[in-house]
Amino acid sequence: MIRSKALVVFLACMGFSGLSLAAIPKTNSLASVKTFLSEGSFRGGQFGSGFSIVGLKRVYSPNGNAERFIFEIGDRDGRKYSGKTGYFHAQLFRNPSELSLDLSQVLKSKVDNHQLRSLIKKSKLIQKAELTVDREDNSTHFAMKFKSPIKMRVFTLSPKKSSPKLVIDITKI
């Protein structure tokens, strides 16, 4: 009798713990770089002694329905290095259509808001973008507001002969 009660209590606890997982938003693994999300998040990277943004490029399709942002990551002193990207979390919101990218341990950026605005000036997808460095949190925040709903995917590249890169692809829905 005691064993059966203990079993019932154990199974009930397991059931409730499973329900708590339903509250955690879905996060995609970077192993599935083919996946585009219309809402949700990507996260990845690794721990390090500090990172910086040493470059940012924007590549776009001729029809303007797709764009790629390539963040070139450097060491904490703003120099290029060969390694992996630091921790990041990219969240895409559907309504309003916005992207929030947090780059942990990124204390320095060679890209400022003036350069960012000139990069997106002719974009058919992006309404507004902003880059802020939070010295207390030791992180950099990148935000974009879109003109219409989009899908995104995020992945990293770690080439052997150049700095690691964080790539964000956005495409019109």
User: Could you tell me if residue 113 is inside a domain?
Assistant: yes
Question: What residue numbers bound the domain in which 89 lies?
Answer: 26-172
Distance between CA atoms of residues 66 and 173, nearest Å: 10
pLDDT value at position 59? 95
- The beta-strand segments (E) located in 1-94 are 27-28, 40-44, 51-60, 66-75, 88-93
Distance between CA atoms of residues 166 and 151, nearest Å: 17
User: Could you tell me if residue 80 is inside a domain?
Assistant: yes
User: Could you tell me if residue 7 is inside a domain?
Assistant: no
pLDDT value at position 80? 86
pLDDT digits (tens, 9 = 90+) for 110-121: 999 999 999 999
Q: Output 127-136 pairs: Cβ under 8 A, ≥24 positions apart.
A: 133/106, 133/107, 133/108, 133/109, 135/107
pLDDT digits (tens, 9 = 90+) for 120-173: 999 999 999 999 999 888 899 999 999 999 999 999 998 778 899 999 999 999
User: Could you tell me if residue 18 is inside a domain?
Assistant: no
- Total number of domains constituting the chain: 1
User: Could you tell me if residue 77 is inside a domain?
Assistant: yes
pTM above the 0.85 mark?
no
User: Could you tell me if residue 19 is inside a domain?
Assistant: no
Closest by CA position to 107, among listed 90, 86, 92, 89? 86
Cα atoms in the Cβ-side hemisphere of radius 13 Å centred on 32: 10
User: Could you tell me if residue 20 is inside a domain?
Assistant: no
Closest by CA position to 123, among listed 75, 63, 83? 63
Distance between CA atoms of residues 72 and 167, nearest Å: 9
**Cα dihedral 27→33→36→37 (10° resolution):** 10
User: Could you tell me if residue 118 is inside a domain?
Assistant: yes
pLDDT digits (tens, 9 = 90+) for 47-93: 888 999 999 999 999 988 999 999 999 999 999 888 889 999 999 99
Q: Give the list of residues 6+ apart from residue 100 with CB closer than 8 angstroms, or none.
A: 90, 91, 93, 141, 142, 143
